[in-house]
Structure 1
Amino acid sequence: MKENQEEQPFAVVLDEIFTADPLPIAQLYRLSDMQEEDAAHFWQGWTAVSDERRQAIVRHLADISEDNFVVDFAPLFIPSLQDSVADVRIAALDGLWDTTDLNLIAPLTEMMKSDPEERVRAAAAGSLGHYVLLAEWGQLPETILPELVGTMLATYENEETAVAVRRVLLEGLGAADNPRIGDLIAEAYENGDPATQLSAVFAMGNSADRRWTVTVLGEMESPYEDMRAEAARAAGAIGNSDFVPQLASLAYDEDLAVQTAAITALGQIGGDEVQRILANMLDDPEVEENEEILEVVEEALEESAMMAGDFNFADFPYGDPIDDL
């Protein structure tokens, strides 16, 4: 079936993508790495596609990009940053989340500052924060950081910047090695607004700074599920073994998001004690009956084992990867 679809003329494929009901998801892969002539046909027809259809297409392309590292839809996402529909612009930003294209920093900065939709400005701020994270990890040149962090700080401290945008900026700035960030995180945490406090805890995790250990431990006992989950995620990012006992308790939290965050965090922290906890969970009848949690535990155990150098691909449960190709 897949081979027959790939043999179809691109014009036929394009017509189906633009008009068929339901949207043929499998055909969207043909939009990756388009030849110049095919791309010209795409953009010629794109102008006539309805707002709702454009939104659906770009959203699906972003979702595919998240799960498939082989496809390349960036040539479609970049022009879509200027689409008239906010949801299309947001989907395009999501699709470009892992980009390392430094040429996009300027247009993303402009979107953060002046896009007419607040949620688009917030999404653009998140994209810029990802550039900060990649640069701090050494995956992008550190030379981009002074100007980028300076711009984000200036926008954050601008009183006219919407709270939603400031929250996302703080989350991204958490990763920056800048002496001002710690104070900004502390101020946001003490703000009293629950949403801003959530972003502050996210920024604590993004900083990977153990100075926040006591605060994060405290929030893992919060009566609010979203805060417990955020604190668990921060604990995994910080990676302090002091978090392990509390995370082990949250691994059985009544809230699924909290459970998932706690188990994932345990895998990120690793160590003999973590592997023992996760291995015991695999033998727990309650966990065995919950496929979703069971999968999270297995993934966390694999990550913990890989960190310790104990992971054996011969034990990989899905068969020989080479044979599957």
Structure 2
Amino acid sequence: MSATTILLAVAKLTRPLTIRDVRGLSGMTYLDRRDFLEIWQSLPAERRTTIARELIELAEEHVELAFGELWSWLLDDREAAVRISAIEGLWEDTSTKMLRRMVDIFTSDASTDVRAAAAIGLSRFACLAALGELAEGEEALEQALSAAALDTGLPTELRRRALESAGYFAENEQIQNQVERDYASGEQLLAESALVAMGRSMLPRWLPVIGKALGHESPALRYEACRAAGELADEAQPLLPKIFPLVTDSDSEIALAAIWALGQIGGEQAERALKQVSRSSDTARSQAAAEALEELSGGDSLV
């Protein structure tokens, strides 16, 4: 059955899509592009948006589905929500071609929401750059993210997402200074993103700030502080006394983030705490602790 036939059938469905409905759209090639887009673009915007969202969900559940070509075509869809889904769907594409495309979308798309999604998407390339594994395009990437992160006239959502991704550029003093200013700005969302950037920088200079945030009254800031501490790995050993109480936080997301952080930081104290949590009656927390212990042991169970 051709991709266009499958798409026509999918378009008529009034129930949620299943893998059986869309399996034939997996693995499409450029040869399918013209016929697919002719049908796709004739569908109402609401239906295109719904299909794209459901394809994202199915791809997360079934890793064998390969929608890469499809998502690259939908980056040009007229509907912003579809373009956002396409950006999310291309998360594993780390090619130079995709980097250039994502930078272009980030800097020039008509929708602020799409540009913010692209900023999030660029984080994988910034991470590769920090690891010295980005083949090319690092300078253009850093310039684009830095310009947005430093531009206080941009919409908050766009700027904060740029700041998060720019955090990987630890040696860029302008970015790191902006991280400091945004955390101290008094704006909740900017403070959250600043903590994300601190963790991604892996700079010990942020330990005091992260440590203070671990005890903040804001659940969102405590959560991001746990994540940031985990990103710093063994550099965050001094923060362990402040992380231990959070594994019993009434907010499950914070507790799970704290457990994850302990697994990333490691050490005897973290291991003992994780073993204790692994015996908890709370299934989610005990399972998370078991997984953290397994990571600490390099795949061998420590429970």
TM above 0.5 = yes
CA contact (8 A) 2:3 2:25 kept: no
Aligned to 2:172: 178
* Whole-angstrom CA distance in 1 between matches of 2:23 and 2:294: 30
CA contact (8 A) 2:107 2:144 kept: no
* Whole-angstrom CA distance in 1 between matches of 2:145 and 2:203: 20
Aligned to 1:120: 114
Aligned to 1:47: 41
Confirm or deny that 1:166 pairs with 2:159: yes
Equivalent residue in structure 2 for 1:150, among 140, 143, 163: 143
| Aligned-pair CA distance for 1:39 | 4.8
Equivalent residue of 1:299, what SS? helix
Instruction: Report the residue type matching 2:25 in the other structure.
Output: L
Structure 1 residues 186, 9: closer, same or farther in 2, change over 3 A? Answer: closer
Which string of whole-angstrom CA distances, capped at 9 and with x for unpartnered residues, describes residues 123-169 of structure 1?
1122223211122123322x422221112222333354222211111
Confirm or deny that 1:206 pairs with 2:200: yes
* Whole-angstrom CA distance in 1 between matches of 2:271 and 2:105: 44
| Aligned-pair CA distance for 1:273 | 2.2
| Aligned-pair CA distance for 1:113 | 2.5
Aligned to 2:130: 136
Q: Where does 1:7-46 land on structure 2 (aligned, <5 Å)? A: 13-26=6-19, 27-34=21-28, 38-46=32-40
Equivalent residue of 1:112, what SS? helix
Which string of whole-angstrom CA distances, capped at 9 and with x for unpartnered residues, describes residues 274-310 of structure 1?
22211111223xxx2x33323322222221221xxxx
In the TM superposition, structure 1's runs of 4+ consecutive aligned residues that sit over 6 Å from their partners are none
Q: Where does 1:281-296 land on structure 2 (aligned, <5 Å)? A: 281-284=277-280, 288=281, 290-296=282-288
Instruction: Report the residue type matching 2:293 in the other structure.
Output: L
Aligned to 1:81: 75
Aligned to 1:267: 263
Residue-pair matches, total: 299
Structure 1 residues 67, 241: closer, same or farther in 2, change over 3 A? Answer: farther
| Aligned-pair CA distance for 1:42 | 2.7
* Whole-angstrom CA distance in 2 between matches of 1:37 and 1:23: 28
Q: Could you tell me the TM-score, scaled by structure 2's length?
A: 0.89
Structure 1 residues 301, 75: closer, same or farther in 2, change over 3 A? Answer: same
Q: Could you tell me the TM-score, scaled by structure 1's length?
A: 0.84
Which string of whole-angstrom CA distances, capped at 9 and with x for unpartnered residues, describes residues 75-103 of structure 1?
11112112111111111111112321211
Confirm or deny that 1:215 pairs with 2:209: yes
Confirm or deny that 1:278 pairs with 2:274: yes
CA contact (8 A) 1:250 1:259 kept: yes
Equivalent residue in structure 1 for 2:248, among 227, 248, 252: 252
* Whole-angstrom CA distance in 2 between matches of 1:265 and 1:104: 31
CA contact (8 A) 2:196 2:224 kept: yes
* Whole-angstrom CA distance in 1 between matches of 2:38 and 2:150: 42
* Whole-angstrom CA distance in 2 between matches of 1:35 and 1:145: 29
| Aligned-pair CA distance for 1:249 | 0.9
Equivalent residue of 1:293, what SS? helix
Equivalent residue of 2:122, what SS? helix
* Whole-angstrom CA distance in 1 between matches of 2:118 and 2:29: 29
| Aligned-pair CA distance for 1:203 | 0.5
CA contact (8 A) 2:266 2:296 kept: yes
Equivalent residue of 2:191, what SS? helix
Structure 1 residues 24, 298: closer, same or farther in 2, change over 3 A? Answer: same
Q: Which runs of 5+ in 1 are unaligned?
A: 1-7, 318-325
Structure 1 residues 280, 33: closer, same or farther in 2, change over 3 A? Answer: same
| Aligned-pair CA distance for 1:9 | 6.5
Aligned to 1:303: 295
| Aligned-pair CA distance for 1:253 | 0.3
Instruction: Report the residue type matching 1:133 in the other structure.
Output: C
Deviates more, 1:236-245 or 1:16-25: 16-25
